[in-house]
Structure 1
Amino acid sequence: MTATTQGFVFTDEQRAFRDAIRDFCEHEAGTREQRDALTDGGADTHNQEIYEKVARLGWTGVAIPEEYGGSGGTLVDECIFHEETRKGLLPIYAAGSTGTVAGCYLRYGTEEQKRDVLGAISEGHVMSISISEPEAGSDVGGISCSAKQHDGGFVVNGMKTWCSNAHIADRILLVARTSYEDSPHSGLTMFEIPADSEGLEIRPISTMGGKEVNDLYFTNVFVPEENVVGTVGKAWPQVMAGLNGERLIGAAYALGIAERALDDLVAYVKERKQFGRSIGTFQALSHRIADLAIEVECSRLITYDAAARVEVGRGTGPELTRLTSMAKIKTSETAKKVALEGMQMMGGYGYATEYDMEGHVRRALVTPIWAGTNEIQREIITGTMGLRAR
């Protein structure tokens, strides 16, 4: 790909895809009234009816091979999808967790699992992935939710937390401990758990971002052996193999938020007048906006450069890991900066719910936390440079 002022020169198909998403977002969620109606006034982050419309266009399976019901696109295509839907404020936040789950099944699912789950994703079904626990967030080796072998399967007991979209998911991809070994990262296994399983309780966690994350409580939940995804005891390397893609989904999300916040800010400062002229003509604001535009463009460049490199390199190697961590940090911190600066420059109107900027702030603030905190991303980067403490 070749760099331009628009980030990259996409193929004709990718430009058409991008433009189609923009048109769809404008038609379905282009006004505040439409978005409020779709999200219960902003309380919900996901509207299933809209998501199923997206699925019928083939976009929920954009990076899923055609033999499993998808569109056979690339990681770059998937990033375009997440960037543009976030920029267009389309309420389909569950697309992120669903895309991460799709990647896991593509790499480690059996043929039957792929046809079942990837086909369902392509049709618009929501999936969730559950790794974090109260005492095991960044430290995945601290997972204690157990899955013990029993009667041709496993019985799961324990608690999970911060599970995105479990309350609207059909299935949950669970990482649980099946054994204790010398390494804390050994003995972990991935399981497919139907969200309506007997013994599973899903409790929403109230957040400033709306209805998105949940606590999960497992009480003697039976999982048949055929629901193991990948290899028993080897979930750690399996999960790690998919993190480059997860980081780039997070980066594309944050990029879309930053772009929309910048667009809304520029529109506001052109219209708002003080002292007889639009406030955007005052150098105190215009130079700050120029700096924000530079940061957004840098974020776009690193995101698509990373996506293109991962696609070619199949997502392996320390160089690609370093680059995806950099992309996640850059885009999320840019989104946060643009939204907060946007609120400041809009004054009281930036704080008022009448405008979208306060929503941009709420959505941007979590981006340095999800998909691996930026503190952990910096540890990853320094580790690939040989600077991590041993």
Structure 2
Amino acid sequence: MNFEHTEDRRMLADTLNRYVAEQYGFEARNRIAQSAEGYSAAQWAQFAELGAVGALFSEADGGYGGAGFDLAVVFESLGRGLVVEPLLGSAVLAGGAIARAGSEAQRELLPALIDGSTIAAFAHGEPESGYALAHVATSARRADNGWVLNGAKAVVLQGEAASLFVVSARTSGAQTDEQGLSLFLVPAATPGLTVRGLPAIDGGRVAELSLANVTVPADALLGAEGQAFATIEHAVGRGVLALCAEALGAMDVARQATLEYLQTRKQFGVPIGSFQALQHRMADVLLEIEQARSAVINAAAAVDGDDRIAREKALSAAKFTIGRVGTLVAEESIQLHGGIGMTWELPLSHYAKRLVMIDHQLGDEDFHLERYIALGKEIAA
């Protein structure tokens, strides 16, 4: 298999890398990440204009990419700048669910997501659900000509900025059943929907949603009633790939910053990078990053496949590897910098924090290792 990117993807990567380096510097990023909005509307519009959002959707959906390697290219570039704009929540998770399960009328929302004029959010995780995709307590019941939703959602990416939510709710079955899950399109202004924003530990904003007798029309149902688990799994799987690629970009920056520090910091009159023990540690870091890169390539190649087990195993393998290697890179980079590595003013500390937090998004290292094993048992059975 040829793993070299197409010319279009290389051009997109070059464009995004150059833009992030020149227009999304560390100080600008921190101002955006710590702002009341948690993102920049101007930067969001610029990323849409550059084609970063369109690359995440297929031509049939109004984009010009949408394949696993398109996601990998975009998010690796975003990871280099610790970009906090809502590409993951709006385009990959919410937009991916609408593209996969939406009716013709619902899919008319996609152009506005692609051009950045609308921000959507994927409201699936709940306070008690952990990482289990099927664990949904939020309920939806039929009423008159629509649906009434009740429940709560947690850690909704850029929820305050969203004008539309893709909300999961249980229409039948027990609280942890895969069957009986449904998805609904809920405008942010719907009565009974309360959005409470919170700062994320690594920058940006998340939100908690409370749904108290939220009434939506019958055509708000996304896909078939009770059959949303496959759509949720597919959207979250693409989100996992995006996070893994983002981590690769962040790891590359952390590695390069550490190498530069080792080449300039002197002790006993010589650069500390000349010490063999430190060279061995950096060699181990480099090898681990390349191992992680291979896992991400494998996941990008598998994410568009029809074999569910193979696809999900590749994604869990990549997320497990990224969780382990990302933590290693964060720890080694900080230790090799010494005390300065933990200071707020040094970009490295923010990259380390983001790498650790990526491990906890959409399933951590332990969760995906257990899931990989469970998927293997499904094959054996």
Interval containing the TM-score (normalised by the shorter chain) = over 0.9
AA matched with 1:131: H
- Displacement of 1:96: 1.1
Match of 1:5 in 2: none
CA 1:150–1:181 in structure 2 vs 1: closer, same or farther (change >3 Å)?
same
Residue 36 (structure 1) aligned with residue 27 (structure 2): no
Aligned match for 2:18, one of 17, 23, 30:
23
For the 8 Å contact 2:32–2:38, the answer to whether it is kept is no
For the 8 Å contact 1:272–1:278, the answer to whether it is kept is yes
Aligned match for 2:206, one of 205, 213, 236:
213
CA distance in 1, matches of 2:63, 2:248: 25
- Displacement of 1:129: 0.9
CA 1:129–1:70 in structure 2 vs 1: closer, same or farther (change >3 Å)?
same
AA matched with 1:95: L
Match of 1:97 in 2: 89
Identity of aligned residues (%): 29
CA distance in 1, matches of 2:335, 2:353: 14
AA matched with 1:195: A
Q: Deviations over 1:119-175 (max 9, x none)?
A: 111111322111122222233444221111112111111111122211111211110
CA 1:389–1:207 in structure 2 vs 1: closer, same or farther (change >3 Å)?
farther
Aligned match for 1:167, one of 147, 150, 160:
160
CA 1:281–1:166 in structure 2 vs 1: closer, same or farther (change >3 Å)?
same
- Displacement of 1:207: 4.0
CA distance in 2, matches of 1:182, 1:35: 40
CA 1:39–1:138 in structure 2 vs 1: closer, same or farther (change >3 Å)?
closer
Q: Deviations over 1:208-240 (max 9, x none)?
A: 223432211111211111111111111223212
CA distance in 2, matches of 1:203, 1:317: 36
AA matched with 2:326: A
Task: Summarize the alignment of residues 1-390 of structure 1 with structure 2, pairs less than 5 Å apart.
Answer: 1-2=1-2, 8-30=3-25, 32-40=26-34, 46-92=39-85, 94-98=86-90, 99-116=92-109, 118-124=110-116, 125-180=118-173, 184-311=177-304, 313-314=305-306, 316-386=307-377
Unaligned runs of 5+ in 1: 3-7
AA matched with 1:120: A
AA matched with 2:59: E
Q: Deviations over 1:314-346 (max 9, x none)?
A: 4x3312211111011112321221112111111
SS at match of 1:386: helix
CA 1:323–1:140 in structure 2 vs 1: closer, same or farther (change >3 Å)?
closer
CA distance in 2, matches of 1:250, 1:305: 14
For the 8 Å contact 2:38–2:203, the answer to whether it is kept is yes
CA distance in 2, matches of 1:172, 1:91: 19
Number of residues of Structure 1 aligned to a counterpart in Structure 2 = 379
CA distance in 2, matches of 1:194, 1:44: 19
For the 8 Å contact 1:130–1:172, the answer to whether it is kept is yes
For the 8 Å contact 2:135–2:175, the answer to whether it is kept is no
TM-score, normalised with respect to structure 1: 0.90
SS at match of 1:175: strand
CA 1:215–1:40 in structure 2 vs 1: closer, same or farther (change >3 Å)?
closer
- Displacement of 1:34: 2.8
CA 1:40–1:180 in structure 2 vs 1: closer, same or farther (change >3 Å)?
closer
For the aligned residue pairs, the C-alpha RMSD in angstroms reads: 2.3
